[in-house]
Amino acid sequence: TLTGYLSIANNFLTWIGEGIPPDEMDLRRYFVHRREEGIRDSSLRTTFAVLQKLYESNRWDWPFKKEDRPEAPSESDTPAFTREEMEQLIKNRDLYSKGERFYLAIATIYAPRRIELARIKKRDIKDNTLYIDTAKKGEKRTHLIPDEIMPHILPVTSSDGIG
């Protein structure tokens, strides 16, 4: 994350060239430039925050107010699979390996991020409980595992792809 922030600041300073300290119009032109490059709203929001910190650390006047920061994007409600595709995945579960059934069960019930799913180890499953280290801010989540899906979780071993 720090490397990404430094990269944002460096890209801005490189783009701005000799005009130090950059003024409000420089910032506005840079934000327009980034928009034209196709930057996503969430990335533009991060860029705004990083550049604000850059200004503060250099004691330059930050020309914007808190409400000028780009709005956070709304959550997408588009599922990865359609309802019909999910039904087919579940109906065909007997065709899958133990590892695939494990991932299908966990993914469809708890909807972890891919990295969270990949990090699940055998030690994270105890007494019908799943412990997930979240990818965001490193918080732990605890989920009860229903008896109905335990048969798809218990037989999974490291040879099935779960560490």
Q: What is the pLDDT of residues 119-158, one digit of tens each?
A: 888 888 888 899 998 887 777 889 998 888 787 777 665 5
Q: Are residues 111 and 43 in the same domain?
A: no
Give the count of domains, the chain.
Answer: 2
Q: How confident is the model at residue 19 (pLDDT cuts 50, 70, 90)?
A: confident
User: Model's pTM, two decimal places?
Assistant: 0.51
Question: Cα 160 vs. chain centroid, distance in angstroms?
Answer: 26
Q: Are residues 63 and 87 in the same domain?
A: no
Indicate the helix (H) or strand (E) that contains 140. Answer: strand 140-144
Q: Supply the pLDDT for residue 23.
A: 92
Output the CA–CA distances (angstroms, integers) from residue 104 to 56, 62, 74, 97, in the order listed: 47, 48, 27, 10
Q: Are residues 87 and 111 in the same domain?
A: yes
pLDDT of 47 > 90? The answer is: yes
Q: Are residues 21 and 88 in the same domain?
A: no
Q: Are residues 99 and 140 in the same domain?
A: yes
DSSP 19: -
